[in-house]
Structure 1
Amino acid sequence: MAPAGLSLGATVLGLLAWASLAAGDRVYIHPFHLLVYSKSSCEQLEKTGAETPADPTFAPVPIQAKSSPVDEEALREALVQATEGLEAEDRLRAAKVGMLLNFMGFHMYKTLSATWSVAGGAVFSPVALFGTLTSFYLGASDPTARRLQAFLGVPGEDQGCTSRLDGHKVLSALQTIQGLLVTQGGAGSQARLLLSTVVGLFTAPGLRLKQRFVQDLAPFAVTLPRSLDLSSDPDLAAEKINRFMQAVTGWKMGTPLRGVSPDSTLLLNTYVHFQGKVKGFSLLPGLQEFRVDNTTSVSVPMLSGTGTFHYWSDDQNNLSVIRVPLSAHASLLLIQPHTFDLHKVEALTFQHNFLTWTKNLSPR
């Protein structure tokens, strides 16, 4: 994944953006109807499948081939354009996908956090996770596709086409969510945000990919298919992948890839880069002490900021909640424990409705 602090920002911002989407339109419809194939789409798929030949394939170029750098400004502009002219159904679909990936993200984070040391941890992007799994779904066939659909939270009521998840709708909804995050709210906007997603698709030499599969990922991320020897020296393969991704993105990889399974023939890595500047905030010099609990502390970079923010003190759970606006659709929700019991507060975040928390906030 991308640098740690960047992914964290994208994760927190995503949670709040989904909440604002859900509160917008009051049109009620069976939620899964928005994510599966319609009857007309199924008829078109059946007709197309009977008339067209097999999808064309291609062999990815070697990883050492010359590559153009990723243009983050162009990616940001594409996200902004994706939010123009959104209809009510588009927003409802984005809200539904946001709820699903929010739920999956919390549970995945909770499961993974049980394996971390007390002073350790990691940051986690539910959007990247959900988009990656949807990418797998687009390239899968039954029974794997059915299992992935269920894991993504969309039940298949029967084996019919109209019960199948439309992965293109999901990736389009993810593009909408990310676009709303980076869209500025005019002159009063607090900050200018960048949010870039890049997929590295690495194959063993000679393996061919379907062109349509790679093209279908476009709404979610820039996809860079490359080939290299993954089996002879897994550590060297990982090193080559890290160098390639850093060269084409310019990003410093906070958690570089380490080792590749010698049995691998296909490797899909999703990289996320989030960058934002908030008015009134500045980076404190050096590293600052952050208390994990009564006996453990870690040294981390910290920001200092002044201004009027929305605040609420939850005396029952011994914590405070502060919302820092970043743009028209994005906010940073800061949860501060009143005691040194960070793990208890972290557990509470898996149980609370963020809309309830935000309704209790008042300017301070």
Structure 2
Amino acid sequence: MAPANVNLRATVFCLLAWANLATSDRVYIHPFHFLTYNKSSCEDLEIAHEEGTPVPTFIPVPIQAKTSSVDEEALRIQLASAVNKLEEIDRVRALGVGTLINLKGLHVYTVLSKTWHKAHVFSPVALFGTLASFYLGALDPTASKLQTFLGVPLDTQSCTSRLDGHKVLSALQTIQGFLVDQDRKYDDVQLLLSTVVGLFTAPSLSLKQPFVEGLAPFALVTLPRSLDLSTNPDLAAEKIKRFIKAVTGWKISIPLAGISPDSTLLFNTFVHFQGTLKGLSLLAEPQEFWVDNTTTVSVPMLSGTGIFQHWNDASNNFSVTRVPFSENACLLLIQPQDASDLEKVEAHTLQVDFLTRKKNVAPRVIRLTMPHLVLEDSYDLQDLLTQAKLPTLLGPDAHLGKISDTNIRVGKVLTSILFELKVDEGKQPSESAQQPGEPEALEVTLNSPFLFVVYEQQAATAHILGRVTNPQCRA
């Protein structure tokens, strides 16, 4: 094994050990010095502060201004190219941020899931990216509170213990690039991941240019636009919905009702994930899906035979099927043996140690049948902060002086996700008889409530978490 790989594996071990220790009441020195300011950067910040160098600002163009449509394939290529020239420190940063994403994302997912009664989909990466974006624009005490909420301990007396927001967002780009980086053996694209940020401001609000430009690693498309948020909030919400749909082309609902008329900034993150499961294609007829023990719905199903990993956890009554999107990214399908155990299985499986645990299971031939998923979901970070007993973190008294010189009133901080499993158009389900000598295919059919995780291995990051209780509900 090459020395670089030895160092990287050692780093992974240290990060996971820290992740487990950080959840206890004891205090430990965190290993994330590669995400904080170094001594030289601290000196530069001090000089800039003393000199009082003016920061360029601009007023966003009106929302009706002409805007080019999002080119998702170009975004994928740009993300994938970002991982081609990584140095070792870039990979270490990605591992560190991946650990933080999993810790924060899984915790928030657990909080949210207690109120869910249907299909839902959640992006830990988008959550962390939004929090890191606000950290980039924050001053103390808001910056310190955000850093602590992100999971990195802070010594308020030491500049070198403070997160460098640019390093964090750069690591986020690396993590997204790992996910979509195309395997050289495939000619067709297996994954698309597009992140768009909309900064919707009151007409007179100016934004600081370094802040907006600094969001680029997290969201390659950032759209600052101005519109009247105060006179008719419902009309403003409708304009934002039309604008995003026109720019992205995504068929996604955006629940912006209830915008506070005194808001001057809305921070909206839009994520589109599209994955193709090789060898699976659409069955000719819809199939029954058991919503509960007495209720079924008829839904489109994908089916096909492939070489997958599959294992059973008999003691906890669930099974896992690992379906690769590529050599680095996979879809984990987690199926309770009894649908009534879904929440119990969810609590057991969606943990950092479960996701990062290597399953030494030999791949085998499996005939997989599962719903053709098209899911969407939205959540407001402000609501999550309230549940986390931090309702004022981004409230009227938040110090966001790196976003604007004007006192900002943050309204909705909405994240909307569109998740799609794409049909493999080059493959049709085969019903041919098993040939002599061929291994018998294990039948795995997901026709009752299940969980799924889109997982990327290089940064050990859970990108998408989902619960499917009724595939007809688009969350």
The reply to whether TM is greater than 0.5 is yes
Structure exhibiting the larger radius of gyration computed from Cα positions: 2
CA drift at 1:330:
0.5
Instruction: Tell me which residue corresponds to 1:144.
Output: 142
Aligned-partner residue type, residue 10 of structure 2: R
Following the alignment from structure 1 to structure 2, what is the Cα–Cα distance between the partners of residues 308 and 194?
Answer: 23
Structure 1: give runs of 5+ residues left out of the alignment: 1-20
Following the alignment from structure 2 to structure 1, what is the Cα–Cα distance between the partners of residues 35 and 258?
Answer: 36
Following the alignment from structure 1 to structure 2, what is the Cα–Cα distance between the partners of residues 141 and 295?
Answer: 55
With over 3 angstroms needed to count, the CA separation of the structure-2 counterparts of 1:352 and 1:170, relative to structure 1, is closer
Aligned-partner residue type, residue 136 of structure 2: L
Instruction: Tell me which residue corresponds to 1:113.
Output: 113
Checking the alignment, whether the CA contact within 8 Å between 2:322 and 2:333 is kept in structure 1 is yes
Following the alignment from structure 1 to structure 2, what is the Cα–Cα distance between the partners of residues 285 and 143?
Answer: 58
Following the alignment from structure 1 to structure 2, what is the Cα–Cα distance between the partners of residues 354 and 22?
Answer: 23
Alignment of 1:267-286 (within 5 A): 267-284=266-283
Following the alignment from structure 1 to structure 2, what is the Cα–Cα distance between the partners of residues 265 and 355?
Answer: 40
Checking the alignment, whether the CA contact within 8 Å between 1:312 and 1:360 is kept in structure 2 is no
Aligned-partner residue type, residue 55 of structure 1: V
Following the alignment from structure 1 to structure 2, what is the Cα–Cα distance between the partners of residues 190 and 75?
Answer: 16
Following the alignment from structure 2 to structure 1, what is the Cα–Cα distance between the partners of residues 361 and 208?
Answer: 50
Residues 248-279 of structure 1 deviation map (CA, whole Å, 9 limit, x = unaligned) = 11111144433312221100000001112222
Residues 189-240 of structure 1 deviation map (CA, whole Å, 9 limit, x = unaligned) = 8852111100000001101100111000011101100001112222111111
Which structure features the higher share of strand residues? Answer: 2
Following the alignment from structure 1 to structure 2, what is the Cα–Cα distance between the partners of residues 359 and 278?
Answer: 21
Q: Secondary structure at the match of 1:112?
A: helix
Checking the alignment, whether the CA contact within 8 Å between 2:103 and 2:352 is kept in structure 1 is no
Instruction: Tell me which residue corresponds to 2:391.
Output: none
Following the alignment from structure 2 to structure 1, what is the Cα–Cα distance between the partners of residues 284 and 227?
Answer: 42
Q: How high is the TM-score relative to the length of structure 2?
A: 0.67
Q: Secondary structure at the match of 1:335?
A: strand
Which structure features the higher share of helix residues? Answer: 1
Q: Does 1:263 align with 2:262?
A: yes
Q: Report percent identity of matched pairs.
A: 66
Following the alignment from structure 2 to structure 1, what is the Cα–Cα distance between the partners of residues 186 and 116?
Answer: 41
Following the alignment from structure 1 to structure 2, what is the Cα–Cα distance between the partners of residues 92 and 247?
Answer: 38
With over 3 angstroms needed to count, the CA separation of the structure-2 counterparts of 1:352 and 1:197, relative to structure 1, is closer
With over 3 angstroms needed to count, the CA separation of the structure-2 counterparts of 1:348 and 1:302, relative to structure 1, is farther
Instruction: Tell me which residue corresponds to 1:235.
Output: 234
Q: Secondary structure at the match of 1:245?
A: helix
Residues 11-58 of structure 1 deviation map (CA, whole Å, 9 limit, x = unaligned) = xxxxxxxxxx99953356962101110111111222233346221111
Following the alignment from structure 2 to structure 1, what is the Cα–Cα distance between the partners of residues 86 and 345?
Answer: 37
Checking the alignment, whether the CA contact within 8 Å between 2:199 and 2:224 is kept in structure 1 is yes
Q: Secondary structure at the match of 1:359?
A: coil
Instruction: Tell me which residue corresponds to 1:10.
Output: none
Instruction: Tell me which residue corresponds to 2:464.
Output: none
RMSD value over aligned CA atoms?
2.3
Q: Does 1:198 align with 2:182?
A: no
Checking the alignment, whether the CA contact within 8 Å between 1:191 and 1:279 is kept in structure 2 is no
Instruction: Tell me which residue corresponds to 2:466.
Output: none
Following the alignment from structure 1 to structure 2, what is the Cα–Cα distance between the partners of residues 352 and 230?
Answer: 40
CA drift at 1:355:
5.0
Aligned-partner residue type, residue 210 of structure 1: K
Structure 2: give runs of 5+ residues left out of the alignment: 16-29, 365-475
CA drift at 1:121:
4.1
Following the alignment from structure 1 to structure 2, what is the Cα–Cα distance between the partners of residues 141 and 356?
Answer: 35
Checking the alignment, whether the CA contact within 8 Å between 1:190 and 1:278 is kept in structure 2 is no
Q: Which residue, out of 5, 25, 36, partners 2:9?
A: 25
Residues 269-294 of structure 1 deviation map (CA, whole Å, 9 limit, x = unaligned) = 00001112222011345754433543
With over 3 angstroms needed to count, the CA separation of the structure-2 counterparts of 1:200 and 1:54, relative to structure 1, is same
Instruction: Tell me which residue corresponds to 1:38.
Output: 38
Instruction: Tell me which residue corresponds to 2:97.
Output: 97
Following the alignment from structure 1 to structure 2, what is the Cα–Cα distance between the partners of residues 152 and 225?
Answer: 25
Q: Secondary structure at the match of 1:26?
A: helix
Following the alignment from structure 1 to structure 2, what is the Cα–Cα distance between the partners of residues 303 and 141?
Answer: 49
With over 3 angstroms needed to count, the CA separation of the structure-2 counterparts of 1:160 and 1:298, relative to structure 1, is farther
My pick for the range that moved more, 64-73 or 212-221, is 64-73
Residues 84-115 of structure 1 deviation map (CA, whole Å, 9 limit, x = unaligned) = 12122211110111111111111111111212
Alignment of 1:1-12 (within 5 A): none
My pick for the range that moved more, 246-255 or 291-300, is 291-300
Q: Does 1:363 align with 2:369?
A: no
Aligned-partner residue type, residue 26 of structure 1: A
With over 3 angstroms needed to count, the CA separation of the structure-2 counterparts of 1:287 and 1:231, relative to structure 1, is farther
Following the alignment from structure 1 to structure 2, what is the Cα–Cα distance between the partners of residues 50 and 299?
Answer: 67
My pick for the range that moved more, 152-161 or 348-357, is 348-357
Instruction: Tell me which residue corresponds to 1:329.
Output: 328
Following the alignment from structure 1 to structure 2, what is the Cα–Cα distance between the partners of residues 202 and 97?
Answer: 28
Q: Secondary structure at the match of 1:280?
A: coil
CA drift at 1:356:
6.1
Instruction: Tell me which residue corresponds to 1:160.
Output: 158
With over 3 angstroms needed to count, the CA separation of the structure-2 counterparts of 1:286 and 1:130, relative to structure 1, is farther
Checking the alignment, whether the CA contact within 8 Å between 1:191 and 1:278 is kept in structure 2 is no
Instruction: Tell me which residue corresponds to 2:354.
Output: 354
Following the alignment from structure 2 to structure 1, what is the Cα–Cα distance between the partners of residues 165 and 232?
Answer: 35
Following the alignment from structure 2 to structure 1, what is the Cα–Cα distance between the partners of residues 107 and 262?
Answer: 29
Alignment of 1:218-229 (within 5 A): 218-221=216-219, 222-229=221-228
My pick for the range that moved more, 239-248 or 50-59, is 50-59
Q: Secondary structure at the match of 2:62?
A: coil
Checking the alignment, whether the CA contact within 8 Å between 1:55 and 1:211 is kept in structure 2 is yes
